[in-house]
Structure 1
């Protein structure tokens, strides 16, 4: 593998590593639900209605891992068919993750400490993720590839929020202790805000020529 190839794979590798802790936590949760775990205040809502959380774990995990490969320039240039096929999977996976997250926020009995501000933050970013994916799909149907890419990057950044939230919580937990209700809400929100800020930086750093829509004859289907 050349140094150029290694650089191409650096970003998806880092994105998958960022997803590692949420993926592991999701796998533990699914195993807990499958194994008939003892009911606790933390898992009672999941055991009472497991379908939404299982859907959320599986869809968000696949979305984060598969989406990471969309950032490999070589795949976009040389394997456009794979890129488009993956895109057709990513939109429903992302929507399933966002909408199941919204459903759980609204209808699950949220534990004490997760209510109030954190509920509002989850609703805002869950809605923003779903909207980004819908706008990305609408853009590619208009053959506006630049806007399609921008909205898909925004949606992926929000979907990857759980990974960044591990990083925002870690220093606080190590040096201060368990965050309270307000601190936890701020740390959760910070994870999403950091990802959105990075996404906007990436979008604005793309070459100016990529902002022009491509002719319809050069684009087939969704990316």
Structure 2
């Protein structure tokens, strides 16, 4: 997640607890990020003040054109509310609605992929690095999971490790590294290809890259069976 995404989620009150930690850390350590935050905060205040003045002026104009004795209080209030909504939608309309739509599409369709490759039982005495990695992954300790996945010796590393490491990066909202790992899996064509294409489509949606998301979904529908029905519905929602 880039800095602009963090600012968007902050001002839309949709930061996750993990994102909140990252956001506060950036405010304290990144002067450029803090300056951008302060600029956008003051800009939004200025916009809100301007819109309030416009709304007040518009309502006064409507009121002056209405013959109040001929209207009930109920009708007058309805007209005032309608005017308010029209002004607000006019300012925030198209882009805000479609930003929310992208976020909803991602959140509705995303779920972390379950561990289907490494069985963990209480009677298991093995304490390998790989087991530690999947224990951390299943308990959503994604940072530790990433460290353990990286620590698995190359000589014993299975092909699925990159896929689950990408999942762990998604868990900490680092879509850039996750994307690179999924792309590598697809390029090497070595297990979890269809699943990686699905998550690449979701990342593209999260990044508002509509055409790229459609390309991934069309690939998934044409060449694979994994989540085919979901992909068809999601593709339809994007059109």
Report if TM-score (shorter chain) is over 0.5: no
Q: TM-score, normalised by structure 2?
A: 0.29
Larger Rg: 1 or 2? Answer: 2
Higher helix share: 1
Q: Which has the higher contact order (CA 8 A, sep 6+)?
A: 1
